[in-house]
Amino acid sequence: MFHKAIIISLGMLTLAGCNAQKKTKTPDTKAGTTASKQGTKSPLQKGGIIYFTQGENKFLKEYEMNVTFKGISEDSRCPEGVNCIWAGVAIAQVEVMSTTSRPVTLSLATMDNAGRNLHQSQEFNGYTVSLEEVTPFPKSDGGAKALEGNYKIGIKITKADEASSTTK
C-alpha cells in the first residue's frame, strides 16, 4: 500500500511539472514568433551595418553567406585621451563562406593604406564586405591587450556592382 502511494504521488508530481512547463513555454513560443517576424526586418542591422561580437558567427540569409568575426589581429589605434602622431589602424579577421564556397578569411582594416596593403573593403562572391566600425577604443592604461575578447565590429555588405558605382 505504501509503495502504491509513493508511485501515485510521483506520477502526480510529474504531471504537475509537465503542466507547469507547458505554461512557461507558451509565452516563450509567442516571443519566438515575434522575434522571427522581426528577423525578416533583419534586427542584426542598423543603417545597413551588421554587428558582430568577437567569435560570433551568423548566417546571413539575404546574402546566402556565413560570416564569423574571428578577432582583431592588430589594433594600433591611438588610445583615448592621448595625442598621437598617427591615428593608427585596427585590422579585423572576418571569415566568410557562401553556400557554394569554402571559407575565406578577409583582413579588413579601419582605413585604406596601399603602402601597408590595408583595405577597408574586399570583394567576396559578388559582394563587397566593408569594415565600418570597431569598438571599443583602446584606453591609455591597458591598450589593445586589455580589450582582447571584447571587440565588436560593424560590417556592411553590398553588391559588388553597387559599391563600385558609388565610388566612381
Please check whether residue 67 is in contact with residue 96, taking contact to mean a CB–CB distance below 8 angstroms.
Answer: yes
Check whether residue 12 and residue 77 sit in a common domain. Answer: no
**Rounded mean pLDDT of the chain?**
77
**Residue 93 reports pLDDT greater than 90:** yes
Check whether residue 22 and residue 75 sit in a common domain. Answer: no
Please check whether residue 128 is in contact with residue 158, taking contact to mean a CB–CB distance below 8 angstroms.
Answer: yes
**Residue 162 reports pLDDT greater than 90:** no
* pTM for the predicted model, two decimal places: 0.65
Domain count along the chain:
2
Check whether residue 27 and residue 107 sit in a common domain. Answer: no
The band of 150, judged by pLDDT with boundaries at 50, 70 and 90, is confident
Check whether residue 56 and residue 22 sit in a common domain. Answer: no
Check whether residue 24 and residue 57 sit in a common domain. Answer: no
pLDDT score recorded for residue 50: 93
Check whether residue 81 and residue 150 sit in a common domain. Answer: yes
Check whether residue 61 and residue 89 sit in a common domain. Answer: yes
Lowest-confidence region among 25-34, 73-82, 157-166? 25-34
Check whether residue 140 and residue 120 sit in a common domain. Answer: yes
Check whether residue 31 and residue 65 sit in a common domain. Answer: no
Check whether residue 1 and residue 77 sit in a common domain. Answer: no
pLDDT score recorded for residue 1: 76
**Residue 136 reports pLDDT greater than 90:** no
Check whether residue 89 and residue 22 sit in a common domain. Answer: no
Q: Which domain holds residue 115?
A: 45-167
pLDDT score recorded for residue 166: 47
pLDDT score recorded for residue 167: 45
For range 93-107, the mean pLDDT: 93
Check whether residue 124 and residue 139 sit in a common domain. Answer: yes
